Amino acid sequence: MKKLTDFELDLKIENGKQLIFLQAHIRMVWDFSLTNMVGFGLSIYALHFQFGVVMLHSCRVIGVVSFIRLKTEETGEIKTGGEPVPPETFSPSLSLSPQLFPSAACCPHTLLLDATVLEVLPSPLSLSQHSQEFLVKEYLGFSMIMMWFWDEHKETHDLSNNIQHYDIAIVGGGMVGMALACSLANMPLTKHLNVAIIDSNPALGSRPYFNKEDPPDPRVSTVTPATISFFKDVGAWQYVEQHRRAYFDKMQVWDYTGLGYTRYNAQDINKEVLGCVVENKVLHGSLLSCIENTDFQKTIYPSRLSSMTLPPSPSSLGMDSTSSRTPLSSQKHLAKLELSDGNSLYTKLVVGADGGKSRVRELAGFKTTGWNYSQNAIICTVEHTVENGCAWQRFLPAGPIALLPMGDNFSNIVWTMNPKESTNRKLMNEDEFVKDVNNALDYGYGPHPTSSLFGSGEMFFWPRAGVTLSANDCFEVPPKVVNLASERMVFPLSLRHANDYVSKHVVLIGDAAHTVHPLAGQGVNMGFGDAFALSRVIAEGIAVGSDIGEVTLLKKYEAERKPANIMMMGILDGFQKAYSVDFGPLNILRAAALHGAHFISPLKRSIISYASGEQKLPLFT
Amino acid sequence: MASKLVRHSHLRALSSSISINNHIRSPHFSNPNRAPLSFSYRPFSNASSSSSTAGFQRASSLKDLELAKFASIAETWWDSEGPFKPLHVMNPTRLAFIRSTLCRHFGKDPNSARPFEGLKIVDVGCGGGILSEPLARMGATVTGVDAVEKNIKIACIHADLDPVTSTIEYCCTTAEKLLEEDRKFDAVIALEVIEHVANPAEFCKSLAALTVPDGATIISTINRSMRSYATAIVAAEYLLHWLPKGTHEWSSFLTPEELVLILQRANITVREMAGFVYNPLTGRWSLSDDISVNFIAFGTKNCQ
Ligand SMILES: Cc1cc2nc3c(=O)[nH]c(=O)nc-3n(C[C@H](O)[C@H](O)[C@H](O)COP(=O)(O)OP(=O)(O)OC[C@H]3O[C@@H](n4cnc5c(N)ncnc54)[C@H](O)[C@@H]3O)c2cc1C
Ligand SMILES: C[S@@+](CC[C@H](N)C(=O)[O-])C[C@H]1O[C@@H](n2cnc3c(N)ncnc32)[C@H](O)[C@@H]1O
């Protein structure tokens, strides 16, 4: 919460039945002339109490100001009223017409605001009145919601003193947004940047803490070797290593027709592991811890982006403007962001890392191409009696089911199906669900692939050269699931790709630029690839003194990432299509494709090494 | 024209074997609408008329027609898709050269975001400030000078958009005038200017005189080779329409050898040279050993 100036609080608290009634007097002293002010609002926020611990950054608006009385030293008292508005919406705004202050001489420099709160949350603590008073006084605050001025000239001048300027504003502090911040914090050419991170997710404000005894969260990511080395480069992998994660070096993919299966081994691509399954909150927390340990200047705004104003393009630089050099125009090349809590900020570059429903993408007017799959994914954590060391994926008539190792006898399930089935399976009792899962991973829908059909790949004349050991690996049945260890969460699936990733002052990364089917666990890996590429392009720009909002610079990022992402999306979408429809006789082709992938090592190597995050698809080289 | 003759005889002095094509003429100077010769530059405000050939003989480096060309397109300096597109596209590449040579020469940390902190640099023929602004972001104390007042105006307006670049000192003047003010700089940079001046040798002498002993001088220009004729003039001016026709006069280009020679005479030893090559597929320039079209030279001023 930014204070415009210091204010004094004088609180009176009455403990009613359930509510704390509060009256506050705030005296605000402005250090600049108010001649141009036309209105403002005020709201009261409180930090959330939980178990006697104050959760920082989870403050919420608990009441609004019922009326505001202005008192000026010069003109005496001017009284204006406010409208009661329910909490969580905007506070009343008071319009002061210019006529109130006919001349600068009588404009107020001191304002006395009398604020009365209409509604306060019931206290979660059964404490004495004294302790409650103490806590409320300690943790209540006021925030100015808006101020504006009718003189544009003045606006830029006065507000520039109060509105913060940043080099970069990252909208969305999810895994990808934090990966960008972390990468910027760790490169010599970018670590000096002044970065704002805008996200209302409370996890950003607290130190990550995970209990090792808890079963793993169902929201996990399969990170690729490329992502692991990115995390190592920025110094975040050491924090991941302190938590539960499961490396795997084997993967088995098969389908319900019993015609084909394929097994991948890390050694096929000369790697030690194929990937690692990590809970999203661990990845996110590790990036946060990594940033905390640098002296990176970041400011977290626990809010959401509501609007964005981009500066006009400088090619319209007119000669008519006077050439007198005033710093007033300096905001004109910055993007202005307005947040839902009333704060605003200026920045040279806005990074949209705000996920699949990106507000930045919408506000910047980027078009997207995509479709919904009319499929949902159920995700959950399950338990076995033994440890699972392999990633399993079986294609069923309605979509794939994946069983990913999570460590400590736990696995993660990502199961794609039609929306109706997903509702049923979310609601059915746990034992039945476990039975369904075991069925889906074993004999359900069709037989195990058999060795006699296994050789049929040859009739497609696949070259046999370069067959590796894993081709001879036998089909295996995944370990049985004995328990459901988390809630079942359901997500709709879609594919969406932004037609452009960049425009002047704006760039999209992660799901904001592309949302994919979670099939091969590529989603966040593509996002990490974006974050890494963007931070490198920014560093290259800084090395040669470029303006980091310049579109010619940002285009380099787009040129690097767009083809890679489109190719990955095409591969995943193709896979999804091939496996989500029951092609009847065409199943044989699908099986052949699996056989093909199983047999032709060079080709298979290409596919896995691409899926494991290596930059280019060697097929085309 | 008097100013042309000066240059003509000068080049002949450098290399008598070069046949000079003096007939490449800018078509747009015959068009009265395209040649607003109303520009003025403060030091010579009495000589602002287009026909005052005598006035220009005095000011050694100025060439009126060349300046008029720049004045006529000044408003488009910062349009990265406009007439100055090649400069915008080339900028990161030439700045990479400047960064590496100056960091090495002045012992600056190449990993710093502002490696030029503490260096005084003058950008001679700064135009709209395409080079001056990045130099300022890299920490240098920058002075930008250009003979065309309109350019300086544009440069000021644009630099003021960012507090970091608003520190740049822009003046409508020439290298010679700066000398009279007894100004000295750690590094003197004149990119894509020498091919537009009346007397390259005199111009180099002025640049040298502005440089502190053991300071650096960096010059880039277009080579006078058949390939440069083909790429720079035919491609840039006629085919790609990057530059208005007549922006360049091939005959006034210097070869790398000539540049090294005139810099040597001005007491500057060229220590590094690189070429720029354009890849039409990626649309990017990169540094290379091929100096047959565009090249950049880094020299240091000898301490007497
Ligand atoms: C069922 C399922 C399974 C998946 N499995 C995998 C997998 O195994 N492997 C894998 O790699 N990927 C997987 N993915 C994809 C992966 O989760 C996403 O690609 C990844 O989370 C994208 O990260 P992000 O940071 O771009 O976006 P998000 O994680 O969506 O983060 C966006 C952030 O922006 C914030 N935000 C949104 N709007 C605003 C606003 N207006 N103002 C401020 N902040 C805002 C949000 O609070 C959030 O913190 C899966 C996805 C699904 C649905
Ligand atoms: C091709 S532009 C180069 C601009 C800039 N140096 C760059 O590379 O981005 C040449 C500039 O040199 C200026 N110029 C030409 N002759 C000059 C002279 N004798 N003294 C100063 N400036 C001159 C022109 O006005 C023009 O702006």
pLDDT digit string (tens) for A2-18?
233 334 444 445 444 33
Contacts of A111 by beta carbon, 8 Å cutoff, 6+ apart: A27, A28, A29, A30, A34, A70, A71, A72
Query: Would you call A544 and B95 a contact, using CB atoms and an 8 Å cutoff?
Result: yes
Tell me the pLDDT band of A359, cut-offs 50, 70 and 90: very high
Contacts of B72 (CB under 8 A, 6+ apart): B28, B34, B35, B36, B244
Q: Do B99 and A544 touch (CB under 8 A)?
A: yes
What is the predicted pLDDT for the residue at A515?
A: 85
Q: Model confidence at A259, in pLDDT bands (50, 70, 90)?
A: low
Question: Residue A504: which of A578, A558, A540, A443 has the closest Cα?
Answer: A558
| Residue A323 · residue B156 · CB < 8 Å | yes
Judge whether B94 is annotated as a binding position. yes
* pLDDT (mean) for A491-508: 90
The pLDDT of residue A254 is 80
Query: A78 or B279: whose pLDDT is higher?
Result: B279
Q: What is the pLDDT of residues A596-607, one digit of tens each?
A: 333 333 334 444
Q: How far is CA A244 from CA A110, A344, A389, B102, in A?
A: 57, 39, 14, 49
For residue A131 the two structure tokens come to 């302790």
- For residue A117, pLDDT over 90 is answered with no
Contacts of A542 in chain B (CB under 8 A): 113, 137
Q: Is A529 in the pocket of ligand 1 (CB under 6 A)?
A: no
What pLDDT is attached to residue B87?
Answer: 87
pLDDT score recorded for residue A331:
58
> From CA A511, how far away is CA A353, in angstroms rounded?
7
Q: What is the model's pLDDT at position A175?
A: 96
Q: In residues, how long is chain B?
A: 304
Helix axes B200-210, B2-14, angle to 10 degrees: 80
pLDDT, greater one: A522 or A520? A522
Chain B contact for A322 (CB, 8 A cutoff): no
Element (H, E) at B72: helix B64-72
Pick from A182, A217, A219, A221 the residue to mutate for probing ligand 1's pocket: most ligand atoms within 8 Å of its CB: A221
Using the CB atoms, write b or e for B17-46: b if 16+ within 10 Å: eeeeeeeeebebbeeeebbebebbbebbee
**Nearest ligand 1 atom to alpha carbon A402:** 8
Nearest of B226, B289, B277, B278 to residue B255 by alpha carbon:
B226
Instruction: Considering only residues A56 and B240, tell me which one the structure prediction assigns the higher pLDDT.
Output: B240
Ligand 1 atom closest to residue A489's alpha carbon, by position in its atom list = 1
**Residue with tokens 């800018």, as numbered in its chain:** B26
Q: What is the pLDDT of residue B258?
A: 87
* Nearest-angstrom CA–CA distance, A173 and A303: 11
**What is the edge-to-edge ordering of all strands in the sheet holding B268-279?**
B169-172, B141-146, B120-124, B185-191, B211-222, B294-301, B268-279, B284-288
A506 confidence band (pLDDT: 50, 70, 90): very high
pLDDT band at A430 (very low <50, low <70, confident <90, very high): very high
Instruction: Look up residue A456 and give its amino acid.
Output: S
Identify residue A377 by its one-letter amino acid code. Answer: A
Supply the pLDDT for residue A17. 38
Is B162 known as a binding-site position?
no
The interface predicted TM-score of the complex, written ipTM, equals: 0.71
Residue of B196, B247, B249 with the most ligand 2 atoms within 8 Å of its CB, for mutation = B196
Band the pLDDT of A87: cuts 50, 70, 90.
very low
Q: What is the mean pLDDT of chain A?
A: 69
Within 10 Å of residue B272's Cβ, how many Cβ atoms? 15
Indicate the pTM of the whole model: 0.71
Strand B120-124, strand B141-146: pairing: parallel
- Cα–ligand 1 centroid distance for A354 (angstroms): 8
- Residue stretches of chain B with pLDDT short of 70: 1-61, 65, 70-72, 74, 224-252, 279-283, 304
Which tokens go with A488?
């079942």
Between helix A175-186 and helix A225-234 the angle, nearest 10°, is 50
CB B214 within 8 A of CB B301: yes
SS3 of A602-619: the string is: HHHHHHHHHHCCCCCCHH
Q: Residue B156 — φ and ψ, nearest 5°? A: -65, -45
Radius of gyration for the alpha carbons in chain A, expressed in angstroms and rounded: 29
B213 φ/ψ sector (left φ>0, alpha ψ -120 to 50, else beta): beta
Query: What is the percent of chain A with per-residue pLDDT over 90, rounded to a whole number?
Result: 34
Lowest-confidence segment of A64-68, A143-147, B260-264 by average pLDDT: A143-147
CA distance linking residue A177 with residue A305, whole number of Å: 14
CB count in 10 Å sphere of residue A301: 26
Is A422 a residue whose pLDDT tops 80?
yes
Whole-angstrom distance, CA of residue B88 vs CA of residue B278: 13
